[in-house]
Amino acid sequence: MKNLSNSTIPHTSTKAKVSKLQRVQDVFALEVKNAKYRGTTFSGVIELVNGSDSIHKFKGFYRANAKLAWFGQKLKKRNPFINLSGATVTLLPSYSGDVVASLG
């Protein structure tokens, strides 16, 4: 996947959906229902960047630092923080299977 730099890619989108899955083995993941990122709400399994250390409280809300692309593009400097406020979350510490790799 390319870095996020193309002006045709929206900064936010309420219509973005899961557009790509990726197979992983033995990763720390979260199963989320109604999580939010850049204006869209989605459900699925996301791989975390650094295990349970990827879950942070920011301004009173929990967020997860996930390995995830936006419209097929990776962020240039860091991985996205998924907003878990109002989401149903299940920890999957040793997950093998398909994870959401891209929204768009």
What pLDDT shows up at residue 26? 98
Question: What does pLDDT average to over the chain?
Answer: 92
Alpha carbon distance, N-terminus to C-terminus of the chain: 13
* pLDDT exceeds 60 at position 5: no
Reported as a single tens digit per residue, the pLDDT across 41-55 is: 999 999 999 999 999
- Residue ranges per structural domain of the chain: 16-103
Q: pTM of the full predicted structure?
A: 0.89
* pLDDT exceeds 90 at position 32: yes
| Mean pLDDT for the stretch of residues 49-66 | 95
Q: How far apart are CA 2 and CA 69, in angstroms?
A: 9
Phi/psi of residue 19, nearest 5 degrees: -115, -15
Strand 88-103 relative to strand 69-70: parallel, antiparallel, unpaired? parallel
